Amino acid sequence: MPQPVDIKIRTESRILDVSFDDGTRYELPFEYLRVFSPSAEVKGHGGGEGILQSGKENIGITGVEPIGNYALRLSFDDGHNTGLYSWTLLHELGRDQRANWSRYLERCAAAGIARPAAAGAAPGKEPGG
């Protein structure tokens, strides 16, 4: 699995910018990372898509802690900090960003959760571009 070679937190634009040794680079919005947190709180304890997270459009990251040589612990300004983002997970989140975000928006709509018109964690451009 690709390993990160550069990780930047862009707080103003709310982006985690990750470059991997396979040449891929992903700009992962904080909101996207928060709603797809690998924590049990978000994933749930069974199968399925987990617990729908909403209202995270303006989420910030208050801390980034390396965990060994395999992951990051992200601390969000809503107090959430229990998910470990492995290099594999960060790469998969980048690779699958468009499909993941589309499904998230579908789930929000089905649940009757309105999102602000300007909000959107998956930019109109190709992920990583």
**Does residue 30 fall inside a structural domain?**
yes
pLDDT at 25: 98
> pLDDT by residue (tens digit) across 21-41?
999 999 999 999 999 999 988
pLDDT at 49: 75
pLDDT at 126: 37
pLDDT at 12: 94
Q: What is the mean pLDDT of residues 63-87?
A: 95
Q: Compute the Cα dihedral for 19, 17, 45, 69 and give only its sign.
A: positive
**Does residue 123 fall inside a structural domain?**
no
Taking alpha carbons only, the member of 26, 52, 51, 54 closest to residue 40 is: 51
CA distance 12 to 85: 21
| Residue 48 in this model has a pLDDT that exceeds 80 | no
Total structural domains within the chain: 1
**Does residue 120 fall inside a structural domain?**
no
> pLDDT by residue (tens digit) across 77-121?
999 999 899 999 999 999 999 999 999 999 999 999 987 765 555
CATH of the domain at 62: 3.30.2020.30
Query: What is the span of the domain harbouring residue 102?
Result: 4-110
**Does residue 126 fall inside a structural domain?**
no
Output the pTM of the full model: 0.88
